[in-house]
Amino acid sequence: MSYDYDLLVIGAGPGGLAAAKRAAQYGVTVAIAEQAQLGGGCVNRGCIPKKLMVYAAAFARLNQDAIAYGWSGGEQQFDWQRFVVARDQEVERLQQVQMQALAKAGVAFIHDRAHFVDPHTVAVGNRTITAAKILLAVGGKPVKPELQGIEHALTSDDLFSLSALPQKITILGGGYIGVEFASILRGFGCDVTLMNHETCILSGFDADLAAAVHHGLVERGVQILCNTTISAIAPVPEGFRVSLEGDCPKTLTVDVVLAATGRVPQLDGLNLDKAGVEADQKAIAVDDDSRTNQPHIFAIGDCTNRLQLTPVARAEGKAFADTAFGKHAQTLNYDYVPSAVCSDPEAASVGMSEAKARKQYGDVVRCYQTEFQPLFYSLTDRAAKSLVKLVVDNATDRVLGVHMVGDHAAEIVQSLAVSMPVGLTKRALDQAIGIHPSSAEELFALE
């Protein structure tokens, strides 16, 4: 049977774009359909604009630090509107870069909504397309909890469209999204209350890392309420009245409520049933080759039940194309995928947390850690501390996890993702000679 394309990709985020371009390199015909903007959540409503906000917020404290280094002080005002224009221009530039990359690769781009008609046929706008293989890379979307007045709460997507910064904001959710926006908005001078229904923030990370970030945020003026959640949100003339329950029952009046309680796969309207594709717990179930229960339909990225990270989606897209069209199978190792929290203080991890390591390896696990003040802060009035922690299998000396809180944590920790899968040992770190003075050299001096 002949098809319009060898491959149709639904979703033009990092994973879908990587898969489409890599597949085209193997000489197959490829089309990619996207109902929104090129780049997906990462470029338009996630990683890129968020990191630009992180940079912008950091200048408030950096300008204060500059005085300690001899620079003349002076009152400086932050112009939110001017920043938003610059941020959005960069997002648009990246969209154009992706458009040009698709054209150069020979990938047909269809800017419209797609849904299945049958296992090999997809309706895209007012036309139908057939494909031998179909890749779902539709990403995820924010999800709100069910509570009274939740319709008044914004999601992380909505924050990028704020016309003005709020004076007071309440954030529900202590995961990395809630923590990052709490840090960003506090940096802009907002009054921030962050609440989490669990006993600590960043519950998926190492406990010492989470505690260090918690301490750093509180020092910077973020109010954190754990074992506390929102019971109701109601509009009032001053903004919104937020009723809290749990360990800290009280009422707050704020300008904005942010629900940062997680994300779910964006599967609405795909008509997966018409293709016979099974979804497990609202995510698309796939095997090691990203194949669904239908042998010619694949899925990658945030719409699956795997790690929801941009670099993972990109790697899955390339691995899919290599396996399906390059005829050399690529299987990803998810054990040593680094992750970061773009807060102030910044945090990053690769490998196992102490709790996970002890659960798997037991008493042979030994941890090494240190807390120190980076040289940069020695002239400032900031009591900023950095944390470095190693989780080690003492029986083999193998490093199971690396965790860091402090400036440049993400840049430092991700470099170890190269050596850990091939057996990085504590002895190897001890024997390494670092650069002085630097924060990274602390990894080589842990006792």
Domain 5-141+264-324 identical in fold to domain 345-444: no
The answer to whether 174 and 194 are in contact (CB under 8 A) is yes
46-74 confidence digits (pLDDT tens): 999 999 999 999 999 999 999 999 998 77
Determine which one of 197, 214, 328, 436 is catalytic. Answer: 436
Put simply, whether the predicted model's pTM sits higher than 0.85 gets the answer yes
For residue 394, what is the enclosing H or E element?
none
CATH classification number, 150-261, choose in 1.10.10.10, 3.50.50.60, 3.40.30.10, 3.30.1130.10: 3.50.50.60
Instruction: Quote the crossing angle between the two packed helices 176-187 and 207-219, to the nearest 10°.
Output: 20
Task: State whether residue 195 is helix, strand or coil.
Answer: strand
Q: Return the pLDDT at 97.
A: 98
CA dist., res. 169 & res. 239, Å (int) = 10
Strands (E), 137-198: 140-142, 168-172, 191-196
Of the candidates 330, 316, 321, 301, the one whose C-alpha atom is nearest the C-alpha of residue 13 is 301
Mean pLDDT of the chain: 96
Q: What is the CA radius of gyration of the chain?
A: 24
The pLDDT tens digits for 140-150 are 999 999 999 99
| Predicted local confidence at residue 280, as pLDDT | 75
Render pLDDT for 374-386 as a digit per residue (tens, 0 to 9): 999 999 988 899 9
Q: How confident is the model at residue 75 (pLDDT cuts 50, 70, 90)?
A: confident
- List the one residue out of 243, 118, 267, 121 whose CA is nearest residue 170: 243
Other beta carbons less than 10 A from residue 394's beta carbon = 13
- How far apart are alpha carbons 167 and 212 in whole angstroms? 26
Task: Note whether 178 and 169 are within 8 A (CB).
Answer: no
One of 3.40.50.150, 3.30.390.30, 3.30.2310.20, 3.20.20.70 is the CATH number of 345-444, namely 3.30.390.30
Tell me, yes or no, if 436 is annotated catalytic: yes
Largest CA distance in the chain: 74
For residues 185-196, average pLDDT: 98
**Six token digits for residue 319:** 């691995």
pLDDT in tens, 283-327: 999 999 999 999 999 999 999 999 999 999 999 999 999 999 998
- Tens digits of residue pLDDT in 326-374: 988 889 999 999 999 999 999 999 999 999 999 999 999 999 999 999 9
CA 227 to centroid of chain Cα atoms = 24
Q: Which CATH architecture has domain 5-141+264-324?
A: 3-Layer(bba) Sandwich (3.50)
Give the burial class of 435: count Cβ atoms within 10 A of its Cβ; 0-12 exposed, 13-18 middle, 19 or more buried. exposed
Q: Where are the domains of the chain?
A: 5-141+264-324, 150-261, 345-444
